[in-house]
Amino acid sequence: MKEKSKAGLFTRRKFIKSSALALGGGGALGMLAPDFLIAAKKSIGTFWFNQPFQADNFKKVIARFRNSQDKYDMNIVLVPQPEMPTKLATAIAGGEPPDAVRLGGPVLNSLFIDRGQAVALDDFEPKIGTYDWIPAVQQAVTRNGKMYAMPVNSGCLALVYNKELYEASGLDPERPPTTLMELLEAATKIAKPSQQIWGHYVMTAPTHNTGGFFFEAILWAFGSQVVSDDGKEVVFNSPDGVAALKWYHDLIRVRKVMPVKQVTETIMLNDFLTGKVGSMFSFPATLARVAAAKFKAGTARMPKGPKGSKVPVGFGTIMVLKKAKNIEAGWAFTKFIGLDPENAAFWNISFGQLPARYSYRETPSWKEYQEKNPLVNAYLEGQKTAALSYYGPGTQEISTRLAKAIEAVAFGKQTPKEALDKAAVDCQRILNRERKRLGL
């Protein structure tokens, strides 16, 4: 692609700056670095990054890209993940999408892939579909045999536990629970509510994450799922599904191993880091803070349920936008991160994630990181049984409604069966509506 003229660069910069101001400047949407500092001789692209709290680490990534070649550069715009769907759709509609964007999870990736906004990466790299991607992650970004986003990091749920609380409670800190019933028993031994010491945390706040990844892992463990295999029927209120929510009920209402309150991912992590919570389920992004805790922590594969050990996979991608003005720059950055083993390792080490290709675990820098950070091993093992959570029509609404059922049970307002039966009626209505809207 020809280099842009100074006038063209000014127009592009003017749009990005005005967008940043209109959407909150350095807050909701902000420039990571002044774009006039970028050398004008390079072809300039724009990259939207969805984790502003990781901005300092991302600066290291973009510096590595800039120093690796002299043809392309990227203006960086910070857009928090929750705001990404609306702001990216608005930018596309206005004819000014970024050239590439980082997106998290199957729902958000599917939103833009299925709307025809993503470039097929096979057009740049015909062999991309043959590489050793984690199968569930590749499946989420593949349509009709082509990949529409570059998987750049992955993760799954695992158990993170406080070894010191385990030992103080007479439990072997080197033998964490391997089943959900063992976890319930261990949590019961640890919990001392009068001293504000708790055995295990689950999420109870009415958010889509509560009813999504986190509860779906327990549904699978008990032999249930959110929606039937054909995608037409809500099935989480089956007897197995009720048994899964009863495990939450027993943990909170019967064993009283966690406080009765709304718990988000942030609250769960912060409470765990006080040293007064025995364990939690978590993705690997928490490990840097866990490793820095004042107590010794351990990790283990997600405990098995009576009918399964499958765990939800999490992942992030870089997507090149079809209507972008500098697709070549977008692809250059995407390829730099996703198809170079050392750069992929650098990306994942920087953000506390796992490589999205199995072979990238053999990269020298990753092997060194893994040796220094043994907490990551349980997550690498867990990926052997990782699978995609439900991400079909109505996903976010359905997950949020499920979370409200969990909250009702946690606060003693409904039994597990009552809560799931009522949620199933609402979720079936949501599913039917969205399937009809999509012509399914």
Q: 174-209 in b/e burial notation, b at 16+ Cβ within 10 A?
A: eebbeebeebbbbbbbbbeeeeebbbbbbbbbbbbb
Instruction: Report the 10 Å Cβ neighbour count for 77.
Output: 23
What CA–CA distance (Å, rounded) separates 55 from 152?
17
Give residue-wise pLDDT tens across range 168-195.
999 999 999 999 999 999 999 999 999 9
- pLDDT grade for 17, boundaries at 50, 70 and 90: very low
Please tell me the predicted confidence (pLDDT) of residue 373: 95
Mean pLDDT on 260-265 = 96
Please tell me the predicted confidence (pLDDT) of residue 10: 31
Q: How far from the centroid of its chain's Cα atoms is residue 376's Cα? A: 16
Q: Name the token pair of 72.
A: 């392309």
Residue 153's SS3 state is strand
Upper half-sphere CA count for residue 384 (Cβ side, 13 Å): 8
Question: 6-155+314-383 belongs to which CATH class?
Answer: alpha beta
What CA–CA distance (Å, rounded) separates 253 from 241?
18
As a dihedral over the C-alpha atoms of residue 106, residue 109, residue 114, residue 120, rounded to 10 degrees, the angle is: -120
Residues 6 or more apart whose Cβ sits within 8 Å of residue 214: 157, 202, 203, 281
Q: Name the token pair of 343.
A: 């750069």
CA distances in angstroms from 266 to 23, 169, 270, 283, listed in the order given: 25, 26, 6, 12
Give residue-wise pLDDT tens across range 353-362.
999 999 999 9
Which residue has tokens 């600066």? 59
Please tell me the predicted confidence (pLDDT) of residue 372: 95
Please tell me the predicted confidence (pLDDT) of residue 35: 47
Please tell me the predicted confidence (pLDDT) of residue 51: 87
Residue 324's SS3 state is coil
Report the predicted TM-score, pTM, of the whole model to 2 decimal places.
Answer: 0.85
Topology of the domain covering 158-312+385-437? D-Maltodextrin-Binding Protein; domain 2 (3.40.190)
* Residues found in the chain: 440
Torsion-angle region of 145 (φ positive above 0: left; ψ -120 to 50: alpha; else: beta): left
Please tell me the predicted confidence (pLDDT) of residue 6: 33
Residue 133 has pLDDT above 50, yes or no: yes
Residue 397 has pLDDT above 70, yes or no: yes
Torsion-angle region of 282 (φ positive above 0: left; ψ -120 to 50: alpha; else: beta): beta
- pLDDT grade for 52, boundaries at 50, 70 and 90: confident
Average pLDDT, the chain: 90
Instruction: Report the 10 Å Cβ neighbour count for 383.
Output: 23
How many Å from the N-terminal Cα to the C-terminal Cα in the chain? 40
Residue 53 has pLDDT above 90, yes or no: no
Instruction: Report the 10 Å Cβ neighbour count for 247.
Output: 20
What CA–CA distance (Å, rounded) separates 405 from 234?
14
Mean pLDDT on 152-171 = 97
- pLDDT grade for 8, boundaries at 50, 70 and 90: very low
- pLDDT grade for 18, boundaries at 50, 70 and 90: very low
Give residue-wise pLDDT tens across range 301-359.
999 999 988 999 999 999 999 999 999 999 999 999 999 999 999 999 999 899 999 99
Q: 291-310 in b/e burial notation, b at 16+ Cβ within 10 A?
A: eeeeeebbbbbbbbbeebbb
Residues 6 or more apart whose Cβ sits within 8 Å of residue 424: 234, 236, 237
Give residue-wise pLDDT tens across range 209-237.
999 999 999 999 999 999 999 999 999 99
Please tell me the predicted confidence (pLDDT) of residue 40: 52
What CA–CA distance (Å, rounded) separates 304 from 315?
22
**Ranges in the chain annotated CATH 3.40.190.10:** 6-155+314-383, 158-312+385-437
CB 13 within 8 A of CB 35: yes
Q: Name the token pair of 228.
A: 């039937």
